[in-house]
Structure 1
Amino acid sequence: MSGILWLASFPKSGNTWLRIFIENLFRNSVEPVSINDLGVVRYGDMMGPLYEQLAGKPLDQLNDAEIHALRGPLQKSWASQPETAIAKTHNALMLHEGAPLIHLEHTAGAVYVVRNVYDVTVSYADHYRLGLDDAVEAMTSDLQTTKTSKAAVFQILGTWTDHYRSWHAVENFEPLTLKYESMARSPVKAFGSFMRYLGVPKDPERLKRAIRNSSFSVVAGQEKKTGFRERVHQSQKFFRTGGVGGYRRVLSEDHVKRLTERHYDLLLELGYISKSGTPRI
């Protein structure tokens, strides 16, 4: 099929991990693919050079309105490829200044990776070099955005809840939803569902090899040895811990309470908390 297959997520939710899995799955090599040689997912709607190429001028000569106006033509060009174009995004599926961030007319499907807001907050703090109080404040605010920089164009995130809702509220559009926790704890089942979504023929050995070659220990070891060129922010390492529930050692009870109160409905819906608000992860 032609069109764009979006890999969508709120930042620090496992999008890069899924991309590395895809690379290992498609290449189907015995040895792990280098994290600095990812080519199957060729596009990202935050990639500055793609906008520069289309505009014919450097990113620092484009304002955000001009950048936003290029999203439609850029996505149309990806969708015109003979095969499905797989693209990464952290944008919410919403309008910005009256125009879409994600153009569904150029979209073939989507995979949405969701991770519990508590672990996201800790990873978000490390990634953007924020104190925990500031990270919790950000994760409980009404609207989150990222600014255009040399590395990436601006993105509109919304809240953790609103981001998820935006991708799951469009009529006749049903993304495959992968929970980060399932990817970590039940990888064969989680990544197997992704293979079925893509229509890749069932091959248990190929699946297990791709899972093994994209495991946290493998990619963290690669980053330690060679670095990760996509690490453009100030965190010391991109692949930090990769675990589930690590927030319990970091966040205070007040932090957890504030995050729970802000995102209670979705946390309950996704099974991350009990009705009393107690985290289950």
Structure 2
Amino acid sequence: MDNTGENTTPSKIVWLASYPKSGNTWFRAFLTALLGDGDLNINQMRTDGIFSSRYIFDDATDMDSSYLYDEEIKLLLPEVFTQVVSEYNKERLFVKIHDAYTLNSAGVPIVPARPTLCALYFIRNPLDVAGSFANHNAGSIDDAIKIMNKPRGTLAKQKRPIGEINTNNQFAQLMLSWSMHAESWTSPDVPFPVMVLRYEDMLHDQMNTFSKAVAFMGLDKTPEQIEKAIFESRFEKLKEQEKEKGFMEKNRNSESFFRKGKSGGWVDELTPGQIKSIVDNHCQVMEKYNYHIPDVTNK
């Protein structure tokens, strides 16, 4: 990779960070409508891919990442995205990321600070995440909760030998547990500005929440443009587009990507034991972000 002028790399990347099923894709749809004057095709988002993209890595490094171990990939990722910024002729790059904010084996954050402008961190009540995550994985809620509770929970684990052609278009994403993921991105040690957006506020206080996010990213948009983008990216429309055209980001084994788009559905989905498991593991972070803690004492 070309390191020429790396010390003058502009800060362009806005990280759209979240644990899965927390509003990231919805916000990218909103951004697409906002940047496209209301035009929205869910299969042609106006954002710039995902941090775990094998294609972005291979293109930037001119390597075949099938021959690299995960540890080697994580060592190169900061440089990859520094280079990507220097090559994209855009004022902002909006990059989705599900990885936790962690260090690679050299003790360097996998998310590079130099090309970063800021990050939005989307958080959602883990009781609601569980059912939605299970649907996304085409698995059970119990299995989803196990991943959410696991200190080294990982998305898109790689299961093929080194050197074998990889049909998975993403690298493994170390998310840690749900709580650890949130704490990693909101830690004071993160060296760039991070704004936390609650999924529930995106649902119930839309204009105020989305307007604050737009201002935080430094986008010059009018209230009318923001309101139009909110309307064009409403959940019902996203779901209808998926029904008509399909959605390329959907797990091929799951029925749909856009499921219910509401908060509080956990009340009808989770068993008392499942609720207790989530609360026991995540009550401190839930309280921090003002999520109601159900009484699980006798459950």
Fold in common (TM above 0.5): yes
Corresponding residue for residue 228 of structure 2? 209
CA contact (8 A) 2:137 2:251 kept: no
Measure the CA separation in 2 of the matches of 1:65 and 1:270: 33
Name the structure 2 match of 1:134: 143
Find the counterpart in structure 2 of residue 88 from structure 1: 96
Contact kept, 8 Å, 1:93 with 1:166, in 2: the verdict is yes
Q: Which amino acid aligns with 2:75?
A: A
Residue number among 66, 73, 77 corresponding to 2:72 in the alignment: 66
CA contact (8 A) 1:2 1:85 kept: no
Q: Secondary structure at the match of 2:114?
A: helix
With 103-112 and 11-20 compared, the bigger mean Cα shift is at: 103-112
Q: Is 1:177 aligned with 2:196?
A: yes
Which SS does the other structure have where 1:236 is aligned? coil
- Structure 2 match to 1:36: 43
Any conservation in 1 of the 2:118–2:217 contact (CA below 8 Å)?
no
Q: 2:160 aligned with 1:152, yes or no?
A: no
Distance between the aligned counterparts of 2:17 and 2:238, measured in 1? 21
Percent of residue pairs bearing the same amino acid type: 31
| 8 Å contact kept, 1:117–1:160 | yes
Matched, 1:122 2:116: no
Decide which of 190, 193, 200 is 2:219's aligned counterpart: 200
Q: CA shift at 1:66, angstroms?
A: 3.0
**1:102: which partner in 2?**
111
Using the TM superposition, name which of 80-89 and 210-219 deviates more: 80-89
Are residue 111 (structure 1) and residue 120 (structure 2) matched? Answer: yes
Query: Which residue of structure 2 lines up, in the alignment, with residue 15 of structure 1?
Result: 24
Following superposition, the deviation at residue 101 of structure 1 comes to 1.8
Q: CA contact under 8 A between 1:264 and 1:277: conserved in structure 2? A: no
SS of equivalent to 1:12: coil
Following TM superposition, by how much is the alpha carbon of 1:277 offset from its aligned partner in structure 2, in angstroms?
Answer: 6.9
Q: Cα distance, 1:243 vs. partner?
A: 1.1
3-state DSSP class of the match of 1:88? strand
Shift of 1:200: 3.0
Deviation, 1:151, is 2.2
Shift of 1:91: 1.1
> Is residue 2:168 matched to residue 1:161?
no
- 1:223 corresponds to 2:242: yes
CA RMSD of aligned residues (A): 2.0
Q: What residue number does 1:25 align with? A: 34
* TM-score in terms of structure 1 length: 0.91
Write the distance in 2 (CA, Å) between the matches of 1:191 and 1:254.
35
Instruction: Determine the structure 1 residue equivalent to 2:261.
Output: 242
TM-score scaled by length of structure 2: 0.85
Question: Where does residue 76 of structure 1 map in the other structure?
Answer: 82
Equivalent position SS for 2:15: strand
Between 149-158 and 73-82, the greater mean CA deviation after superposition: 73-82
Distance 1:101 1:122 in 2: 29
Once residues 135 and 281 of structure 2 are traced to their aligned partners in structure 1, the CA distance between those partners, rounded to angstroms, is 21
Question: In the aligned structure 1, how far is the partner of 2:195 from the partner of 2:228?
Answer: 22
Runs of 4+ in 1 over 3 A off after TM superposition: 171-174, 274-278
User: Is contact 2:71–2:104 with CA below 8 Å preserved after alignment?
Assistant: no
Between Structure 1 and Structure 2, how many residues are aligned?
275
Deviation at 1:108?
1.4
Q: Partners in 1 of 2:51 and 2:252 — Cα distance?
A: 18
- The answer as to whether partners of 1:128 and 1:233 remain within 8 angstroms in 2 is no
How far apart, CA to CA, are the structure 2 residues paired with 1:225 and 1:58? 35
**2:277 equivalent to 1:258:** yes
Shift of 1:164: 0.9
Deviation for aligned residue 1:70: 2.5
